[in-house]
Amino acid sequence: DTAVSQTPKYLVTQMGNDKSIKCEQNLGHDTMYWYKQDSKKFLKIMFSYNNKELIINETVPNRFSPKSPDKAHLNLHINSLELGDSAVYFCASSSDELSGGRNTEAFFGQGTRLTVV
């Protein structure tokens, strides 16, 4: 009965390939996120979507393209993968992050470990 689920959990691929990571949440939340955790363990936001609309885009290369078909799904597509893209990618969701929901908790998926070789 996973709240935020990501697939796949592990992804090994060659440089130059295109790959997608899927994320689904069953919490009824309005806001979903993609985070990247690098080798130093810092989690950094990449994108945030609220009701299928992009609200935060943190200077991510345009090889990364999020797609939100509905508010329960936020998929991440990566084109022309590079060695530096190797990291753990986390999807998260929270209820409405507008001013009325400032203290809402963010729920994270288990992460997708991407290794580019």
CA dist., res. 6 & res. 108, Å (int): 10
Give the chain's length: 117
* CB of 64 or CB of 107, closer to another protein: 107
Q: Which residue in 24, 30, 85, 97 binds another protein (CB under 8 A)?
A: 97
Which residue type does 98 have? L
Residue nearer to another protein on the CB measure, 15 or 27: 27
- Can you tell me which of 14, 28, 41, 84 binds another protein, judged by CB under 8 A? 41
Q: Which of 90, 93, 114, 116 binds another protein (CB under 8 A)?
A: 90
SS3 27: coil
* Cβ closest to another protein, residue 87 vs residue 90: 90
Q: Which residue, 14 or 100, has its beta carbon nearer to another protein? A: 100
Say if CB 112 and CB 88 are below 8 A apart: yes
Three-state DSSP state, 100: helix
53 belongs to the binding site for another protein (CB under 8 A): no
Comparing CA positions, the residue from 83, 79, 70, 84 lying closest to residue 21 is 79
Output the six-digit token pair for 1: 């009965």
Interface residues with another protein (CB under 8 A)?
4, 40-45, 48, 50, 55-56, 90, 92, 97-99, 102-103, 105-111
